[in-house]
Structure 1
Amino acid sequence: MPAGGGGRFPAWAAMATAAFMMSHQVGGKSIRDALFLQAFGPERLPAMVMAAAAVSVLLGVFGARLFSRFSPERAVPWSFAASGVLQLAEWKLAEASPRLGALAVYLHMVAFGAVLLSSFWLLLSEQLDPIEAKKRIGRIAGAGTTGSVLGGLLAAQWRDLTGAGQEAALLGALGGIHLVCGLLLLQTPRRTEAPRAAPEPWISPQKVLRSAPHLRHLAALVLLGTAAAAILDFLYKRAAAETLGRGEVLLEFFAYFNTGVALVSFTLQTLVSRRALERIGVGRTVGAMPALVSGGSLLTLAAPLFPVIAGLRAVEATLRGSLFRAGYELMYTPIPPGEKRAAKTVIDVGCDRLGDAVGGALCQAALLLPGVPVGGVLLVATALIAAANTWVARQLDRIYVQVVERGLLHRAAEVLLSGAGDWTVDRELLESRYAAAPAAIEERQPSPTPPAAPVRVDDAAWCLAELRSGQEQRVKRVLEAQRPLDAVLAPAVIDLLAWPAVSGEAREALLSVRAPIAGQLGDRLADPKCDFSIRRRIPSLLLALGGRRAMQALVEGLEDERFEVRFRCARALDELACREPALRPPAEVVYAAVERELSVDQNLWRSRRLLAEQTPLEQLQHLDEVLKERADRSLEHLFSLLALVLPRE
């Protein structure tokens, strides 16, 4: 959750609102298309799409300014309530004048409906951090898909429920649904924010887009995807009107079609979306839709029949409502709220409607050109646009890492998970305690120490006594003579890691032990009572030893209360995974570690430092080359973790 405290956005409220909202969306699309085709026919559809796109762009700009001036928590509930009231007025208008009612409903569903969808996801993205989003967005979107099914079934059975000639009354029911959404959001507890002396200044969406390349990339993704979808939608509705006629049967057909799409979307959302995001990344998950649309358009050229065109449209709509939506919304969760509020509505609504306008213009041009095979030309255009969008989507993995970096300092929480107090104050105590030990011992000696006898390497008890003597030269002589080190001496040598003067020799001796000692090292690493100066040197030893037990110990170290231990464990895990991919830790464990790191106080985040330089084994070239100019160890640590689960391109 973002910083700020206060009430938590309940999962039940988010899921219930998503269900009602999407039931309205599917039922509204069905009645919108049926009323328009009955009143005007498919030939007027491209012009209507372009007109609705223009109105929607204006509303999108207004929405961006609204959500920059007022928080989504205040503006979104009242927007849903206003939509419900307007829908009730459209019900009466459609009964009095079907043609005017069809125009009003079309503009409302395309323009206002898009703003409401975007605003809901904007509100949701501000309530979730990047890791929580991966866990919850799939379930919330799945609840929305369930609502889509119910809304489609309501529209399909409306004539049986109310009788013939009562299609306009469905608008009244849809208005009531949006009023319920507004009430749900109004009654939901909200997080409390620090009081501000003055309202937040409006941030220009154009300025944000110019200064944020990742947002321009998302804008291109939306525009190209919608342009291809608009062309397919025109071909599909044109074929439906030619095949089924322009009677009341259109509402029933559109409703069942949208319901089928929603059912498949629900299945994909529930079973596939989260796994796809975790296993193949954001880019490939989002890119599945344009890739299949491009290939399917070329295949449809061979048989441009109504069932084939409807099937292609179903594929596009299904993937858009499941894989594409889950991956696309995930891209917004790490973006700072100021940028998000200024740009998201413009992208979701403005670029989406601009894509509609581009698709509508291409359709209109194909209709006006004499002798042009409309279906074939538009299918080729769809294939080309979708192919370009596939390339755009494949860049999202790289962009997501960049977005996470930019949004880190905006996602800090109040709870400190790194331990109480400033851990850097005891640096001298940790390092000097053992360094001063030999001098203290020598001060107590009444006379110079006589020359030591030759080391008896076959006497483990004598070696143990020498290792505990506290005299540097005696300790070093035993460590150098013990090659390989007797496993019985390993616990005593591990204790010597805290003494800087002999820690290097102790490390080499431990690496020479022929018996497995990763378990002993892991136990010391996990013991909070063990000296910190010992525990911070253990990760590089585990990396050198390798193996599954070492990996398990390093994973446990990611939960340590001390930042430096966690930092070195993450570095060691990343290098270990590069050497042995089979030892890569589970993705859910890594994401949980990232979530804990994101939940620290901002001042502590910026102040983290290491007590000593990293060993050569801990220096990871693929990260250090990127971050060598940065002093922010917290950010460097986060990238070490992300490198375990995200592609390295």
Structure 2
Amino acid sequence: MEANKRADTTALIFALIAATTMIAQQVAGKATRDALFLSNFDVTNLPKVVIAAAIASITGVLIMSRLLSRVSPITLVPAVFGLSAILFIGEWILLDYQPRVASVILYLHMAIFGAILISGFWSIINERFDPHSAKQRVARIAAAAALGGVIGGVLATQVAKIMDVRTMLLFLSGLHIICMVTVRSIGAPSRIAPIDNAVRTRSAFTVISQTSYLQWMAALMVLVAVMAALVDYAFKAAASAHYQDSESLVAFFGSFYAAIGVTGFVLQSLLGRRILQRFGIGMTIAILPFTIAIFGTIGVLFTYLWSMVMLRGGHAIFANSFFRSAFELLYTPLPPHKKRPTKTIIDVASDRLGDLIGSGLLLLLLFIAPELPTAVVVACAVIVATLALYVVVRLNRGYINQLARSLRKGVVRIEEEDIVDATTQEILAESNAYSEREFLQSKIAAMAHPDDEQHEEDASISEEASQLALAVSDLTSGNTGRIRRALGNPAMDIGLARYLIPLLANSDVTEDARTELRWLVTRIPGQLTDALLDPDMPLLVRQRLPGVLEASHSPRAIDGLLRGMVDETFNVRYSCARVLVRMRHRNPHLEIPRQQVYEAISRELKVSPEEWEGRDMELKMDYATDEEDVNPQFNRGLEHVFTLLALTLDPDAVHLSMQAAFSKDLNLRGTALEYLENVLPAYLYNELLEHLGEDQQSGKSARTLGDIVNDLKAVVRTGK
């Protein structure tokens, strides 16, 4: 277990180094690329090369996507880093002879490899760490990437001061060699889900076309890319108007990228994780288009270099920090056979499609107005940012739905030994020995063929006694035969209900009494509710009465169950909640007050540890599974909490998330926690985490998720 823990720590260290180096290389490469191109071509040629780069990049994406559906990212991505390093050396040689050709090739090289490698790197991170714990690690890795932006900008600036631009290409090659080594050292996923061969051959575009969630993700990336193309053009047009030679441009771009790198690093380090935890994925993603909308409006009114620097800087800061780290988390509910081929399409192809659209729009504007005002370009960026905000709203809704769908449709796959299914376990609150139909059939048969003892008892009773008095006498006699005879009377009087209720505690006639009371429930819901809430009534009776009220959907019956859900006795609360869940399953339109449920959950989670641990003994029941295969945090108190959650959330998703949360499997548990975090209020989620054994603060001594998974791996390795 200690070895596995060290391996995880080592993987994180290599990931941090790789992220820093990768983004440093990208930032320095962009500064070099832009300087070489703008020193050899006019800025009006920029949309043309962007279109060419987008087409080439999309071709590369299709190849990469196809390869990723067959080869693990941890194998493919380091090899691509190595190929890129070789190409930089070739461009270094070519630049001495054909500078214009070399500048175009460098532009295409950066466009094809840059986004593909970043996407591939995040694929490795996404598979290496489980969905829940990935959120903390992603924030740290994103902070390292932001630091890489600082280093890349400083590197470009300093090299421009002491060497020519050509030397920078060797630095870029060396950085990608470092990336190749560190990315490979991150290691393969500890557990790789099997991919069906039929699924493996499916086109990524087919998968996207059949998944609306992926379509919204792709739409957002397209809009962000269009926005970036417009903002980038406005920024570079202003820069090229102020700086004429390539060294000045490299120094300017290097200083610019260094400044935004520092800002991005500070913001991501101090606020990245907090913003994700407090505001969620949707709000974090929305920061980027909202910033462009605000700064763009300022840029339209004041079209100067400083306003363009502010606009482009805002885009660069938030795109590489908050937006990137939050967008990566949108992939966590997706299974590998969907994620691997489509991630590159969404991350890169959608981005390049946005480049095409943005550059095409720029060419159209330049055709209409050759002296294109920068303010017009910025205004278009503001419009696109507004559309992106709308897509973010839709995507945020789809995110929670996709998490629930991943639990229902196989992303969370529960093996037989992991099942902790409360609905299949017997409790004292209800008996599943017979179905009502079977019981009624057996009772009819008993009425048709009474035994000799019952005949003798019938003969001894005076024919003058009233049927009601006889029934009362039988029901209160304590004699099973007499009780069943009274219950067998086809004309049960409503006045006998008060004598029927206590019989629920008699295990010999529980089903008989329950059936009779269900026939009467629509006429006596108030009487049954009073008995349910009566602390002097036997506990077994109170536990079993919810199963009687279940037969009625009258407001009074439902109100009685809701009142029982907050009773002082746990067994009563437990039974009422389970019955309400079954009623809601049969009638999806049944509305349970959400706030009332949340208050009930909060109450359950705040009881003393002694009372919490004593609930299993209080229910006096056996587990219907091997406890060695179940997370030791499992108990009836937690089961009851998940039952309450099913009253207001998707019951199927809650049911599966309960199974996954109680499992020792890393991915199952992580996905369940991710789902719960996004559907529960923060205060309630934090209270629940304490009972699931999750750390709330650094240094807390609770058993961690990694420990559980490592223990499971150890068991698998030893075969025990």
Deviations 1:294-353 (A, max 9, x none): 343233122111011111111112221223222322222212322222222122222212
Structure 1 window deviating more from structure 2 (411-420 vs 248-257): it is 411-420
Structure 1 CA distance, aligned partners of 2:235 and 2:250? Answer: 14
Alignment of 1:52 with 2:53, yes or no, is: yes
State the match for 2:718 in structure 1: none
> Partner residue of 2:570?
521
- CA shift, 1:102, in A, is 2.0
* CA gap 1:331/1:601 in 2 versus in 1, 3 angstroms: closer
- Matched with 1:306 is 305
8 Å contact from structure 1 (residues 495, 534) kept in 2 = no
Q: CA deviation at 1:218?
A: 2.0
The residue that corresponds to 2:175 in the other structure is: 177
Does residue 570 of structure 2 align to residue 570 of structure 1?
Answer: no
Partner of 2:36: 35
2: CA distance, partners of 1:551 / 1:194: 34
Deviation at 1:133, TM superposition (A): 3.7
The alpha carbon displacement at 1:573 in A equals 6.7
Tell me which moved more, 61-70 or 330-339: 330-339
Give the match's secondary structure for 1:29: helix
Cα deviation, residue 51, structure 1 = 1.5
**Equivalent-residue separation in structure 1 for 2:182 and 2:90 (angstroms):** 22
Per-residue deviation, residues 538-573 of structure 1 (Å, max 9, x unmatched): 999x99995987333444899645796454221357
Q: Secondary structure at the match of 2:302?
A: coil
| CA distance in 2 between partners of 1:481 and 1:407 (Å) | 41
Q: Deviations over 1:413-457 (max 9, x none)?
A: 678895679983758997268999xx9xxxx9999996899xxxx
Matches within 5 A, 1:78-477: 78-160=79-161, 163-165=162-164, 167-190=165-188, 191=190, 193=192, 201-370=200-369, 372-408=371-407, 409-412=409-412, 424=424, 431=431
Q: Could you tell me which amino acid in structure 1 is paired with residue 106 of structure 2? A: V
CA contact (8 A) 1:83 1:175 kept: yes
Residues 393 and 640 from structure 1, CA distance in 2 versus in 1: closer, same or farther, beyond 3 angstroms? closer
CA distance 1:206–1:481, shift in 2 (3 Å) = closer
What letter corresponds to residue 106 of structure 1 in structure 2? Answer: Y
Provide, for residues 10-64 of structure 1, a one-character-per-residue CA deviation record: whole Å limited to 9, x for no partner: 3333322212211111111111112222232423322221221121111111111
Say whether the 8 Å CA contact 2:657–2:672 is kept in structure 1.
Answer: no
- 1:443-476 residue CA offsets vs partner (Å, 9 max, x unmatched): x9999996899xxxxxxxxxxx999787879999
| CA 1:327–1:545: 2 relative to 1, 3 Å | closer
Equivalents in 2 of 1:237, 1:96: separation in Å? 26
Q: Compared with structure 1, are the counterparts of its residues 590 and 293 closer, same or farther at alpha carbon in structure 2 (3 Å cutoff)?
A: farther
Q: 1:433 to 1:499 in 2, by over 3 A?
A: farther
Partner residue of 1:61?
A: 62
Q: CA deviation at 1:372?
A: 4.5
Q: CA distance change for structure 1 residues 15 and 413 in 2, over 3 Å: closer, same or farther? A: farther
Q: 1:193 to 1:503 in 2, by over 3 A?
A: same
Q: Is the 8 A contact 1:273 1:322 kept in 2?
A: yes
| Residue 590 (structure 1) shift | 13
Once residues 56 and 395 of structure 2 are traced to their aligned partners in structure 1, the CA distance between those partners, rounded to angstroms, is 30
Distance 1:359 1:546 in 2: 50
SS at match of 1:431: coil
Q: Is the 8 A contact 1:554 1:573 kept in 2?
A: no
Which moved further from structure 2: 310-319 or 357-366?
A: 357-366
Instruction: Find the residue that maps to 2:301 and give its secondary structure.
Output: coil
Amino acid in the other structure paired with 2:208 = L
Alpha carbons of structure 1 residues 429 and 247: separation in structure 2 relative to 1, 3 Å:
closer
2:539 maps to which of 466, 485, 493: 493
Distance of aligned partners of 1:546 and 1:36 in 2 relative to their CA distance in 1, 3 Å threshold: closer
Counterpart residue type for residue 521 of structure 1? F
The farther-off stretch of 305-314 and 387-396 is 387-396
Q: Is the 8 A contact 1:91 1:172 kept in 2?
A: yes
Structure 1 residues 50 and 481, CA gap change in structure 2 (3 angstroms): closer
Question: Distance in 2 between the 1:483 and 1:276 partners?
Answer: 49
For each residue in 1:579-627, what CA deviation from the matched residue of structure 2 results, as whole angstroms up to 9, or x when unmatched? xxxxxxxxxx99996962787799x99xxxxxxxxxxxxxxxxxxxxxx
SS in 1 for 2:202: coil
- Cα distance in 2 for partners of 1:72, 1:277 equals 26
Residue pair 1:486, 1:513 contacting (<8 A) in 2 also: no
Structure 2 CA distance for aligned equivalents of residues 67 and 60 of structure 1? 10
The answer to whether structure 1 residue 550 and structure 2 residue 586 are counterparts is no
Q: Are the aligned partners of 1:93 and 1:101 in contact in 2 as well (CA < 8 Å)?
A: yes
Please report how far the alpha carbon of residue 80 of structure 1 lies from its aligned counterpart in structure 2 after TM superposition. 1.5
Task: Indicate conservation of the 8 Å contact 1:28/1:174, yes or no.
Answer: yes
Residues 1:596 and 2:680 aligned together: no
Kindly state the Cα deviation for residue 187 of structure 1 after the two structures are TM-superposed.
Answer: 2.9
Report if aligned partners of 1:269, 1:322 keep a CA contact under 8 Å in 2.
yes
Gaps of 5+ in 1: 1-6, 454-464, 526-532, 576-588, 606-634
Equivalents in 2 of 1:469, 1:211: separation in Å?
Answer: 56
CA distance in 1 between counterparts of 2:513 and 2:197 reads 70
Letter in 1 for 2:680: L
Displacement after TM superposition at 1:117 (Å): 1.1
Match for residue 680 of structure 2 among 640, 644, 647? 644
Of the structure 1 ranges 558-567 and 308-317, higher mean CA displacement relative to structure 2 is found in 558-567
What amino acid does structure 2 have at the position aligned with 1:291? F
Task: Report the AA paired with residue 19 of structure 2.
Answer: A
CA contact (8 A) 1:50 1:360 kept: yes
- Read off the aligned partner of 2:126 and give its amino acid letter: S
- Against the structure 1 CA distance between its residues 148 and 417, is the aligned structure 2 distance closer, same or farther, given a 3 Å change threshold? farther
Q: Which amino acid aligns with 1:380?
A: A
| Aligned residue identity for 2:302 | A
Q: What secondary structure sits across from 1:301 in the alignment? A: helix
Query: After the TM superposition, which of the residue ranges 384-393 and 307-316 deviates more from structure 2?
Result: 384-393
Question: Contact 1:574–1:644 at 8 Å: present in 2 too?
Answer: no
- Which is higher, the Rg of structure 1 or of structure 2? 2
Distance 1:485 1:251 in 2: 79
Alpha-carbon spacing, 1:81–1:416, altered in 2? closer, same or farther (3 Å):
farther
Distance 1:503 1:641, change over 3 A: farther
Q: Report the CA distance between 1:497 and its aligned residue.
A: 0.6
Question: Residues 23 and 152 of structure 2 are in contact (CA less than 8 Å); yes or no, is this contact kept in structure 1?
Answer: yes
Distance 1:399 1:501 in 2: 36
Q: What is the distance in 2 between the residues matched to 1:169 and 1:636? A: 50
The residue that corresponds to 2:75 in the other structure is 74
CA apart distance, 1:137: 2.1
